[in-house]
Structure 1
Amino acid sequence: MTNNNPVVSVIITTYNREKSLGRAIKSVLKQSYCNIELIVIDNGSTDGTRAVIQSYANSFKIKYIYQRDQNRYIYALNEGINNAEGKYIAVLDDDDFWCDEDKTKKQVSFLEKNTDYVLVGGGLIGIDQGGEEIARYLLPEKDADIKKTILISNTLAHTTVLYRKDAWEKAGGYDEGVDWGLWLRMGKEGKFYNMQEFFIVYTGHARGNPGYLEKKYTRWEWLKINIGLKKKHKSDYPGYRRALLFCWIRYFYSFLPFRLPLKRELWSLLFKIRKL
């Protein structure tokens, strides 16, 4: 793998994840696509995270950026991309990992051939923190189908996506809506596509939100952000009323115990509701 004139910049933000970060980094290094640069933003870790990064830096050049405020996930993402040299951007969470070694190669090929598309995503496999599989699913494939439901629920899995850096710039980068808000703005610049393949193993969290949201937002705050996104883009995408309903359903769903079998059944039901 070489970093000469990188085409793809991979951004990993991390905070006290010494036990899982190495797995995430390794999945990037195993990619068959060669033109990759890796940027790791450390949000003030106090454990052995730095040592994990250094152990891989001995054999692969990693841009390491340390910041003391661990609650600034959005800032960390934007900071990483501002330091990126790539034409394309991919984001990977520190407790997830890519399960397809050809992921980047397939996605770069697609975007190079289809210049009217701003991003390409894929499917994911969800596991709990004990490594037990919760679900696996593929998201809507074509642009029209993605945009038909994207106001109802995020139909692009953040850490499966590869997107154009210039589209990120035009959309104004990440804000409090994180990836969902970014997609809603990017969708006005170009087309979306989800490959019908599994690209990532995603670790679920007990509160139903990714770790970075647990640090920054309460459930109620995240609900208000979601409702705000829907109101802001209700004239850009269809399904505004259904989107509000689904938002409230998911809010109450998040209070269920993570390992409860009923919650797994409801997870499938939620996906059926958003496709109606």
Structure 2
Amino acid sequence: MIMKVSVILTSYNKPDFIDRVLKSMVEQTYPHWELLIMDDGSEQGTIQKIQPYLSDERIQLYSHTVHPAKRLLTARYATLINEALTRITGELICYLTDDTVYHKDRLLKMVDVFRSKPHIDIVYSSQRVVHVNQHLVETMSFVREANQILEHASFQVDHCSVMHRSRLLPLIYEKYGQYWDDEPKHWHHADSVFWMRLNHFASFFPLKAVLDTTYKTPHSFHHQFSSMPYDLIDGTIIE
């Protein structure tokens, strides 16, 4: 049975990594996928790295511009994911960032779970986390293990380690009025808020295999905003 996978990639100024991220997609052993690149106004260097991959008809680029004064009005990656979720055509959905690579059998192994276990709606895998310095040299690494069924996946599962059935989306929208919560107070953890919404309808089932590697660079989201408060008070101005 063919099951199409929709992958949503959020991108913003990662010219050093975006090529390897996209390469990891086109090298997937499972061919039935579409990739929606949701770029948030990257500079030309990043766009130039993306352009060669657009010859693959499975890959679509959606470029966005936002005035700097409005960039902090929402958690931008969640805003872009919500738009992408209105465009997808797959039965299965997963998420990707511009500093994470999928291992070549990532999609195949996850799809196999959904094929063999129709009662399962969400799967998550183990993930290798690699810290690199400004020269992209590894300084440390560890594995975030997927080893148990999770009824409360928030803050336990990474953004890029999940696949879920698209049939959950209308249930989430009906209950919450949107998919991902993009309020700015969730800038640090919009994925965990969405996991909570998913958990209202289904459990997260583990796949112990390490199926993606995420790189923490000096320019990664959490390093770049390390001085930003974890919780934002309404009306706070950040420079």
Interval containing the TM-score (normalised by the shorter chain): 0.7 to 0.9
- For residue 139 of structure 1, the aligned residue among 135, 145, 150 is 145
Deviation at 1:116, TM superposition (A): 2.6
Structure 1 runs of 4+ off > 3 angstroms? Answer: 212-217
**AA paired with 1:126?**
V
The structure where helix makes up a greater share of residues is 1
Aligned counterpart, 2:63: 66
* Matching residue within 122, 138, 144 for 1:119: 122
Structure 2: which amino acid aligns with 1:95? D
Checking the alignment, whether the CA contact within 8 Å between 2:126 and 2:212 is kept in structure 1 is yes
Matched to 1:90, the amino acid is C
Name the TM-score, length of structure 1 as normaliser.
Answer: 0.68
Distance 2:82 2:34 in 1: 16
1:96 corresponding residue in structure 2? 100
TM-score by length of 2: 0.78
1:169-208 mapped onto 2 (5 Å cutoff)? 169-172=170-173, 173-175=179-181, 176=186, 177-206=189-218
Match of 2:35 in 1: 38
1:171 match: secondary structure: helix
When residues 115 and 214 of structure 1 are mapped into structure 2, their CA distance, relative to the original with a 3 A threshold, is farther
Alpha-carbon distance between aligned partners in 1 of 2:106 and 2:223, rounded to the nearest angstrom:
26
1:97 counterpart SS class = strand
CA displacement, residues 128-180 of structure 1 (integer Å, 9 cap, x when unaligned): 2324152322434232xx236x46xx222220211112223322311135111
SS in 1 for 2:141: strand
Between the aligned partners of 1:183 and 1:59, the Cα distance in structure 2 is 31
Match of 1:23 in 2: 20
What is the SS of the residue equivalent to 1:193? strand
Which letter maps to 2:228?
T
Sort the Cα spacing of 1:63 and 1:220 in 2 relative to 1 into closer, same or farther, 3 A: same
- Matching residue of 1:57: 54
The alpha carbon displacement at 1:19 in A equals 1.9
Q: Which has the larger radius of gyration?
A: 1
Q: Residue 13 of structure 1: SS of its match in structure 2?
A: strand
* Aligned length in residues: 212
Tell me the SS of whatever aligns to 2:44. Answer: coil
CA distance in 2, matches of 1:22, 1:44: 17
Q: Which runs of 5+ in 2 are unaligned?
A: 174-178, 234-239
**Structure 1 position 81 matched with structure 2 position 85:** yes
CA, structure 1 residues 108+42, in 2 after alignment: closer, same or farther (shift >3 Å)?
same
1:215 to 1:43, Cα distance in 2 relative to 1, 3 A: farther
Unaligned runs of 5+ in 1: 225-276
CA contact (8 A) 1:89 1:162 kept: yes
| Distance in 1 between residues matched to 2:113 and 2:157, nearest whole Å | 16
The answer to whether the 8 Å contact 1:123/1:157 transfers is no
